[in-house]
Amino acid sequence: MKYFLTIAASDNSGGAGIQQDIKVAWDLGYWPLSAITGITVQNFSRARVIEPVRSGLLFEQISESLESFPVSAVKIGALTGPENVGAVVRALRQFKPPIVVLDPVIATSSGKLFLTEKAIKVMVSDLLPMTTVITPNAVELEIMSGTNFNDFDEAVQVAREKSIKWQTQIIVKGGHFNDSKVREAIVSQDKIMFFSHERYDFSRYSHGTGCTFSSALACYLADGYPLDEAYERATGYLVHFYQRMQKEV
């Protein structure tokens, strides 16, 4: 049995967060373990309530999972405050899992904040250097870097500068830019790989796309695929999943 650990918030609607991560990991052949960072009250369109769990309890969830099971990959989603960011940092320092994918969820798509400015600073300074790769959207990359940019090319340049400072690889996602095709890039300290694909219409249902992509990416990396191939497989999985959801939800 292969084991996957998601560290994220619970989504009662089942379309994002812990619930979506579990579905993806199981679908890709992993036994999903979970450490819940907070409880949310939300639907497919908005989040009304975000309630953090105690940082000590979060630390114990992560520690028990990493100590009791040979975890191949960790995916981190929404953290819910500076104390919980610190709990994740302590656990990763202690257990050093081989693959860590961070989807830096700073706010919901409806604008409700998961992380304060203080929590973001702790995440950038202490958590990012322990990750394999991070998957911010355009808004998250701007907030984390403290730099505004106007288009995809500027975003890649920001990521190139920050990849060295943050000591991690960055996937620059292109969904928020207005290009006719979606352009994306994997930025590391020594190279940049560019990709492009058609812009798909997920207007009927797009809840949890970031969770889906980052969880699939973590699983494919744990399967041994290099980052560029894991990215392409995770993108393919995402498109297939949400094309199906347009018909079913």
Task: Give the length of the chain.
Answer: 249
Tokens representing residue 80 in the block: 């819910």
| Full domain range(s) for residue 209 | 2-248
What distance in Å separates the CA atoms of residue 197 and residue 249, rounded to the nearest whole number?
Answer: 24
Q: List per-residue pLDDT tens for the chain, 249 residues long.
A: 999 999 999 999 999 999 999 999 999 999 999 999 999 999 988 888 889 999 999 999 999 999 999 999 999 999 988 899 999 999 999 999 999 999 998 876 656 677 888 889 999 999 999 999 999 998 899 999 999 998 999 999 999 999 999 999 999 998 777 777 889 999 998 999 999 988 888 888 888 999 999 999 999 999 999 999 999 999 999 999 998 898 887
What distance in Å separates the CA atoms of residue 99 and residue 72, rounded to the nearest whole number?
Answer: 7
Cα dihedral 78, 62, 6, 73, rounded to 10, equals 130
**pTM (2 d.p.):** 0.95
Q: Work out the burial of residue 244: count CB atoms within 10 Å of its CB; fewer than 13 is exposed, 13-18 middle, 19 or more buried.
A: exposed
Closest CA to 170 of 195, 145, 133: 133
Q: Which SS3 state, helix, strand or coil, does residue 44 take?
A: coil
What distance in Å separates the CA atoms of residue 17 and residue 205, rounded to the nearest whole number?
Answer: 15
Closest CA to 172 of 147, 204, 200, 205: 147
Tell me, what CATH number does 141's domain have?
3.40.1190.20
Residues near 203 by beta carbon (within 8 Å), at least 6 away in sequence: none
From the CB of residue 180, how many other CB atoms can be counted at a distance below 10 Å? 8
The total domain count for the chain is: 1
Q: What are the backbone dihedrals phi and psi of residue 241, each rounded to the nearest 5 degrees, phi first?
A: -65, -45
Name the DSSP letter for residue 113.
B
